[in-house]
Amino acid sequence: MKRILLLIVLLLLVGCDMSPDIDRKLQREIFFECLKNAPKQPDNSKYNDSAEIISACGEQARNMALKD
């Protein structure tokens, strides 16, 4: 009986989803608001600053959309 109880407890623990819960709608809104407020990039530049801006906006939007 103890083995069955232990097995049930272990299965319940393994089945728990430990990934963070993110509000995807809020994340999308924050991401696009961030991009809208980002400075405009010059047409011809040897640096790819836009990739850094997109990455930073995505990271911040994800962090701000985490549910408690």
Q: Are 65 and 23 in contact (CB under 8 A)?
A: yes
Per-domain residue ranges for the chain?
A: 20-40+47-68
Q: Are 65 and 30 in contact (CB under 8 A)?
A: yes
Would you say residue 44 has pLDDT above 80? no
What pTM does this model have? 0.65
Q: What is the pLDDT of residues 17-33, one digit of tens each?
A: 667 788 999 999 999 99
DSSP string, 12-56: HHHT---SPPB-HHHHHHHHHHHHHHSPPPPSS-SS-HHHHHHHH
Q: Are 58 and 19 in contact (CB under 8 A)?
A: no
Q: Is the dihedral of CA 54, 58, 61, 64 positive or negative?
A: negative
pLDDT at 59: 95
| Average pLDDT taken over every residue of the chain | 83
pLDDT at 16: 65
Which has the higher per-residue pLDDT, 11 or 51? 51
